[in-house]
Each structure stands twice: as C-alpha cells, then as structure tokens.
Amino acid sequence: MRQFRRLFFCLLWFFPSALWAQNAPLQTTTWESKVSTTKAKVGDEIELVFLASIIDDWYLYSTDFDPNLGPTITTFEFQKDPSYKLVGKIKPIKPKKKFDDTWGGEYTYFIKKAEFRQKIKILSPNLKVKTNVVYQTCTDIDGKCIQYEEDFYFDKKSLSIEGDVMASTSDTAQAMPDTAADTSASEVQPTEPQKVEPINQNFGEEETKSSSLWGLGLVAFLSGLAALLTPCVFPMIPMTVSFFTSRSSSRLTAILQALTYGFSIILIYTLIGVVVSRFAGPEFANELATNPIPNAIFFIIFLVFAISFFGAFDITLPSNFVNAVDKQSDRGGYLGAFFMAFTLVLVSFSCTGPIASTVLIESANGEFWRPVVAMLGFSLAFALPFTLFAIFPSMLQSLPKSGGWLNTVKVVLGFVELALAFKFLSMIDRVLHWELLNRDIYLAIWIAIFFCMGIYLFGFIRLPHDSKTETLSVGRLLMAISAWVAVVYMVPGLFGAPLNMLSGYLPPMSSQEFTLSASGSTTDSGKSNTISNVKYGDLFEMPHGLTGYYEYNEALKAAKAANKPLLIDFTGHGCVNCQKMEETVWSVPQVLNILKNDYIIVSLYVDARNELPEKEWVTGKDGKIKNTIGRVNAALQLEKFNQNAQPYYVLLDPRNEGLLVTPPIGSQFNPSIYAAYLKAGVDAYKSR
C-alpha cells in the first residue's frame, strides 16, 4: 500500500500547475464612491455614495440587521475631523432580505450591486473625510466567506478610493512557512510555498451543481413513480394502452403514437418547470424563504393536499376545461395523442398535483435549471409506464390489480404532505419571532405524524375509502417499519441530538429548549474548553466539548509536545458555512472522535474585532498595522497560505512547520469524506 501511495505521489509531482492553479487571490467586489453634488459650500448637507459591484454567485452583507445575529455586518467607521459632521446613520439602498436557518434570524444583503449613502454636513472649506469599511462576502456554491476592508477618502478637490483587502482567496493552498510565525513580532513575513504530498485531491471538493441536479432529478423521478401508484393514475394505464392498440391501423403506428403520448406528458410538465424557472431567480427563492405570505400559502396548500389524500375530499380542475381538452383528443393521430396526454395530466391532477407541486416548490431555490430538471425527472417516471406498456401490451399481465393498496399509497403520501406543511409554518414562526414552533415542538409534531403513519399501515386505524385489511402485506409491513424507524431516529432530537439527516427541515438548534449533554446534565450550547490558561480562552469556545487553542504559536507548541498533527481551523463568527460545518459535520461521532483523540485544534477567527495590546500588533505585507485578533489571523492566512476564504482547514506537521500532511480544504459537508480526510492526515503524519 505504501509503495502504491508513493507512486501516486510521484505521478502528482509531474502536475504542479494542476495543484497550484486555484491558488490565485480572489477579489469578490470592486468599489467606487462619489458625492451627491459637486457644488456645495460650508453649511450644506451632501450625501457620500458608496457603490460596490459584486461578482456572480457571491453576496455582500448589508448594514441594517442585528449585529448579534451572527453574520458579519458591514460597518462604516468615519474618522473624526472638524471639517464635517455625520447626519444620521449610513443607509443601505434597497437591500434584499433572507432568513437563515443556521443563524435562526433574518439578515439583509446585496447581490451584483450594492449601494450605501451617508449624509454629512460640511463645517469647513477644507473638507477631509476618511472612512474605513469592513465587510464580508459569501457564496453558497462552495461554502466560502471572505472578509475585506476598504478605505475611502473625500476632499474638496477630488474623490479617490484606496482598497485594502484583508485577505485573498484560492481554493487549495499548498504553502507553509519554513519557520514558525511569531504573531507578536513587528511584521508578518510571507514565505515561499513548499511541496506537499497530496493524499487525495478530492477530499475538499464540494458537490458540484451537476451532481446536485442529478440528485434532484433522482428524487423527482422517484416522486413520479409514487404518483403512478395512486388511485386516479394507476387504473388509467391499461385503459390508455387499450386506446392505442384498438385505434391504430398498425403496430408501428401504435408505437409512434404511444411515443408521442409519452413525450407530450414530458413536454407539458417540463414547460411548467420552465415557467417556474423564469420567475425562480434569487429574489424569488429568497421571497419563498423569508416572506410570511408565500410560506403561509404553501402551508395551507400542503395542509389541504394532505387532508385531500386522507380522503376528506378530492381536488379537481374545472370540468368544463377538462372536457374541452378531452374533446381535442378525439381528433386522432399525433395531435390527438398530445391532447390525450394533456387530458391525463388534468384528470389525474387530484393525485399528481400535490406531489408535483411538492417537488416543484422544493426545487425552486433560485437556480434556473432546478425546476426544469425536477419536472423532467417527474414526468419521465410518470410517462414511462404508459409508453412502455403501449409498446409492449403483453407486459400488462405483470401489473398488480387495482385495489385498496392504491388508497394506502395515497394516504401515506398524505402523511408526508402533512409533515412538509409544518416546514413552512416553522419558517413563518421564525421570521415573525412568534417562538411558538421551536425545535422541540416541531420534532414532537413530526414524531406524532410518523407514529400515526405506522399505526395506519399496521391496520389499527382506517380512513375513508380504505378497504378492510384482513392480512398485512409485505409492502405495508416494510413501510410501517420505515415510519417507526423515522420515529426512533427523531426521538433523540428531543434531547439535543443534531439529526443531521433532517437539518434542512428542522428549526435551528438555538431554538431547542432542552438538551442533554454527554454527562447527563442539561446544557445550553454544548460548548466548552477545559484546557486551562488558554490564550483568548475567555473570548472563544470550542463546540461539542472539544478542547483547543485560539492562538497559532501556542497551539503549535502544544502539538509538538503532544506529538500530534495540528488542525488549523480558519473560521469566523459571521461565517455561516463555518457554523454549518461545526453543527452538521464536527458533531458526527466518526468526525468528533478523530478531532478529540488525534489532533490538536486551533481555531483562528479572522473576523474577531478584539483589539490587541500594542506590543502584539503586526505589520502586514501590505504595510498596514494589524491591531485586532481577526486582522492578525487574516494576515496569517493570506500571507502564509495565500488564502482568505473561510472555512479553511490546514493539517500541519508541527515537527516540521514547513510541511503539510495533506492539502488544505474548505467546507466539506459530507461527514464521511471529511472524516476520511482527517484520517488520511493522521496516517500521513504517522508514516513520516
């Protein structure tokens, strides 16, 4: 195995450009500034205008949300000068709003363009205005956040801007210094990158858009199969096949019309996806996420769908419209096949509408292709049996007969719809700060829903349109067991278990009223640091009972003493993906055990604004003084790793600070891959 690994390293050695290609700095924003008028005199009030252009797929946090929420709020610090005075506060112009599950609150942000305005009163003809802007940009594509600074200058003669980037970014850095960095020195020295033995270049790769689309398409395809197994669709399969076989003059004609029929179903549903995509841009997605009105509408829709599936009533489209379309199918030929497909879509709406709507709503998150792919996958599964059986009529004999089991499928889907309805009600609760549907109550509702599903499948309760269950089929038994497995999985969540498989649907952990620590006592945060006298230990804390450090040199010495690799965690209070990594990945037992036993951890916060004593100030490569913990850590990350995105994880050999045990990575939300990355680092460290 070791020989194979050495051969693998040698092969990678011939491709240095591939290893370093992504190691280029990234500037996500460009700024310009101006004044509202060029003709002003002493005593006048003018507006200073700050404009930012943001690259695609990134967003900039605004200035007008609660700074205690979590994300790094944009701040403008104006240097005092007798030539002017501020009038009011800085005003963001038309920022967008979004509710974030991780922070458990609503924040404001900008995409593509940002504008801020500050009104000042001129007190002297020698106008001199200097302001420092600290801001953060993030992207949801690969889970990065980057913090910057900008300096702006205004005077009576000219308007200029000077940029000061706190850090620069790249995807994978392979660099480490030859000697330890002394953050108490007068200057942070950049060093040349050294060669690294990469263990596996795929550890840090986040899921691409294409893989995400494939996953969505698979879920949509399975939803389409589920729609087939409903009372208003399944019996129509043999009827449709009989239509084509009886009215076609030849087998070839029947096959071509059947294909036209199937493609028409796919076309109709996919066109619906295209229409939704046209409106499902980022603004639409954020409106769904934050506005109580659409969330209330979706809650009511899903609730009505669930009650309908339970058998209280049927949801149908206007009969006049359905009949008018059905008449067009009598034309025959390929046009008749199209209208027959349209009729099927309309007639089966009472069963397929709730399922298709669920898939469509879940897919409409701002990317153009997601609703299209969702409807394509759904319609492909829905059209496949109609087309397949029309081409091969003899296969109809293998179909199970219609019966009460179809209604059972419909009722089970009703339970699922009911559970999903509370997702939207929970969003309303969090946006309006009702604090009625916290994580505990939400889980209790879901546990009750899936427990009732299990009881129903076991035949203890019956709903309208259900036939009497004499014996329990294998299918019902397996579905009932699955429902109760879900219940057993969710019960520990009532006591604080993270339930990572449901993290996208549950309220945030911060809304949990009761948690139980590993020792059996209740706890609020589950965070601690038991190492005594840790520098900055009074300012920061480790999650999940981990112990660690918050200053680089101190952690490096500890790692040398313990003879363990050092995990450098470049993180931030306002980095949403850093919090997601801690909450959904670090909490997984296989990851947590490695972190506790095999590494010395140092968490370096790049956005900490705690000011340092003057003797600990450092001068960065840009010539500017770094006088806060965050600025020192950001300079360390930039100048020694040529990287500024967070989260960013570096596995370092403390015996030779110039050598990484594996290439650094960014966010990786797959716990198994992240655990494998950590384990590979341990193995590489021990093999040296």
At residue 178 the predicted structure's pLDDT band, cuts being 50, 70 and 90, is very low
% of the chain beyond a pLDDT of 90: 21
Are 546 and 600 within one domain?
yes
**DSSP structural state of residue 469:** -
Please state, in angstroms and rounded to a whole number, the distance separating the CA atoms of residues 227 and 630: 53
Q: Which of 370, 341, 377 is nearest to 356 (CA)?
A: 377
What are residue 111's phi and psi, to 5 degrees?
-125, 145
Are 158 and 215 within one domain?
no
Please state, in angstroms and rounded to a whole number, the distance separating the CA atoms of residues 653 and 566: 6
H helix and E strand count, the chain: 19, 16
Q: pLDDT of 293-306, one tens digit each?
A: 877 888 888 888 88
Are 548 and 631 within one domain?
yes
Please state, in angstroms and rounded to a whole number, the distance separating the CA atoms of residues 638 and 190: 9
pTM here is 0.53
Q: Residue 410, SS3?
A: helix
CB hemisphere CA count around 518 (13 angstroms): 9
**DSSP structural state of residue 665:** B
Q: Which of 129, 137, 186 is nearest to 153 (CA)?
A: 129
At residue 392 the predicted structure's pLDDT band, cuts being 50, 70 and 90, is confident
At residue 86 the predicted structure's pLDDT band, cuts being 50, 70 and 90, is very high
**Do the domain assignments include residue 436?**
no
Higher-confidence position of 171 and 66? 66
When mean pLDDT is compared over 95-99, 354-358, 430-434, 442-446, the highest value belongs to 442-446
Q: Which two tokens stand for residue 110?
A: 């900008």
**Do the domain assignments include residue 46?**
yes
Please state, in angstroms and rounded to a whole number, the distance separating the CA atoms of residues 432 and 578: 26
Enumerate the H helices of 513-628 as residue ranges.
552-562, 576-580, 589-598
Confidence at residue 4, expressed as pLDDT on a 0 to 100 scale: 39
510 has pLDDT over 90: no
**Do the domain assignments include residue 507?**
no
Are 578 and 628 within one domain?
yes
Residue 559: domain span: 175-205+513-688
CA angle 423, 429, 434 (to 5 degrees): 160
Q: Which of 154, 159, 125, 116 is nearest to 44 (CA)?
A: 125
Contact 370, 293 (CB under 8 A): no
Are 122 and 181 within one domain?
no
Confidence at residue 204, expressed as pLDDT on a 0 to 100 scale: 43
For residues 134-151, give the mean pLDDT: 82
At residue 489 the predicted structure's pLDDT band, cuts being 50, 70 and 90, is very high
Confidence at residue 196, expressed as pLDDT on a 0 to 100 scale: 39
Q: Which of 222, 265, 270 is nearest to 375 (CA)?
A: 270
Are 320 and 241 within one domain?
yes
Strand-pair partners of 115: 51
How far is CA 386 from its chain centroid? 37
What are residue 660's phi and psi, to 5 degrees?
-90, 145
169 has pLDDT over 50: no
Which H or E run includes 118?
Answer: strand 113-122
Are 201 and 350 within one domain?
no
Q: Which of 595, 590, 600 is nearest to 565 (CA)?
A: 600
Q: Which residue has the tokens 């590979």?
A: 680
End-of-domain residue from the set 144, 164, 184: 164
| CATH code, domain carrying 154 | 2.60.40.1250
Please state, in angstroms and rounded to a whole number, the distance separating the CA atoms of residues 369 and 279: 12
377 has pLDDT over 60: yes
The total number of structural domains in the chain stands at: 3
Are 593 and 684 within one domain?
yes
Q: Which of 204, 174, 19, 144 is nearest to 673 (CA)?
A: 204
Are 148 and 237 within one domain?
no
Please state, in angstroms and rounded to a whole number, the distance separating the CA atoms of residues 457 and 236: 25
Q: pLDDT of 437-484, one tens digit each?
A: 888 999 999 999 999 999 999 988 888 888 777 788 888 899 999 999
**Do the domain assignments include residue 499?**
no
Confidence at residue 175, expressed as pLDDT on a 0 to 100 scale: 35
Enumerate the H helices of 458-522 as residue ranges.
474-490
Q: Which two tokens stand for residue 639?
A: 């100048």
Please state, in angstroms and rounded to a whole number, the distance separating the CA atoms of residues 183 and 313: 70
Q: pLDDT of 543-597, one tens digit each?
A: 888 999 999 999 999 999 999 999 999 998 777 788 788 888 898 889 999 999 9
The 10 Å Cβ neighbour count of residue 251 is: 11
Confidence at residue 104, expressed as pLDDT on a 0 to 100 scale: 64
Give the number of residues written for the chain: 688
Are 197 and 214 within one domain?
no
**Do the domain assignments include residue 463?**
no
Are 180 and 224 within one domain?
no
Strand-pair partners of 148: 135
Please state, in angstroms and rounded to a whole number, the distance separating the CA atoms of residues 364 and 389: 33
% of the chain beyond a pLDDT of 70: 71
Q: Dihedral sign, CA of 445, 447, 450, 452? A: negative
**Do the domain assignments include residue 408?**
no
Higher-confidence position of 662 and 177? 662
95 has pLDDT over 70: yes
Confidence at residue 287, expressed as pLDDT on a 0 to 100 scale: 54
For 20-112, strand residue ranges (E) read 29-35, 45-54, 59-61, 75-78, 84-92, 96-100, 105-111
Confidence at residue 504, expressed as pLDDT on a 0 to 100 scale: 60
The 10 Å Cβ neighbour count of residue 95 is: 22
**Do the domain assignments include residue 648?**
yes
Q: Residue 117, SS3?
A: strand
**Do the domain assignments include residue 373?**
yes
Residue 146 burial (C-beta neighbours within 10 Å; 0-12, 13-18, 19+): buried
Are 146 and 250 within one domain?
no
Q: Which of 75, 69, 116 is nearest to 95 (CA)?
A: 116
End-of-domain residue from the set 399, 422, 451: 399
Q: Which residue has the tokens 């070791």?
A: 2
End-of-domain residue from the set 133, 164, 195: 164
At residue 245 the predicted structure's pLDDT band, cuts being 50, 70 and 90, is low
At residue 208 the predicted structure's pLDDT band, cuts being 50, 70 and 90, is very low
What are residue 473's phi and psi, to 5 degrees?
-75, 160
| CATH code, domain carrying 179 | 3.40.30.10
CB hemisphere CA count around 126 (13 angstroms): 2
What value does the mean pLDDT of the chain take? 76
